[in-house]
């Protein structure tokens, strides 16, 4: 190979432009992609350390968030449903003809409706209703 043939080969590659610039562009794109990857990794580590996702999910799975007794809560809701139905049927204001009893029954019915998920409160309202309306 002579110097003139080598010069002709270099000139033909340089004139086409694609063969010389393609490796340079590929390297630039690889470097940019690697930098973006490092930024994503940094942001993920930063968010995990500040939010502590693992600890939050453990609390939610165990059901001990805030010290709530979930079994007691579910039993309370299930018991209160039947008691609510009973009290709303017995102390409904439309069952009373006397206007004074009707006003008291309306107030009690509103309390029963607002506390329909609390078994203890419904028991207190039931005792209060027995004393005020004299119904067994």
Q: What is the pLDDT of residues 8-37, one digit of tens each?
A: 665 665 566 555 567 777 888 899 999 999
Q: What is the pLDDT of residues 44-80, one digit of tens each?
A: 888 776 655 555 555 555 555 566 777 777 777 788 8
pLDDT value for 110: 93
How does DSSP classify residue 63?
T
Q: Which residues, at least 6 apart from 63, have a Cβ–Cβ distance to it below 8 Å?
A: 70
What are the sequence ranges of the domains in the chain? 3-60, 69-133
How does DSSP classify residue 93?
G
């Amino acid at each position: 190979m002579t110097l003139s043939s080598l010069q002709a080969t270099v000139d033909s590659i340089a004139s086409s432009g694609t063969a010389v610039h393609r490796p340079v562009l590929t390297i630039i794109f690889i470097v940019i992609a690697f930098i973006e990857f490092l930024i994503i990794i940094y942001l993920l580590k930063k968010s995990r350390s500040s939010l502590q996702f693992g600890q939050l999910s453990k609390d939610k799975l165990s059901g001990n968030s805030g010290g709530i007794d979930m079994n007691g809560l579910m039993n309370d809701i299930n018991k209160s449903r039947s008691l609510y139905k009973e009290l709303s049927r017995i102390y409904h204001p439309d069952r009373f003809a006397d206007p004074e009893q009707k006003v008291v029954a309306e107030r009690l019915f509103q309390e029963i409706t607002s506390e329909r998920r609390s078994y203890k409160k419904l028991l207190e309202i039931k005792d209060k209703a027995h004393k005020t309306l004299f119904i067994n």
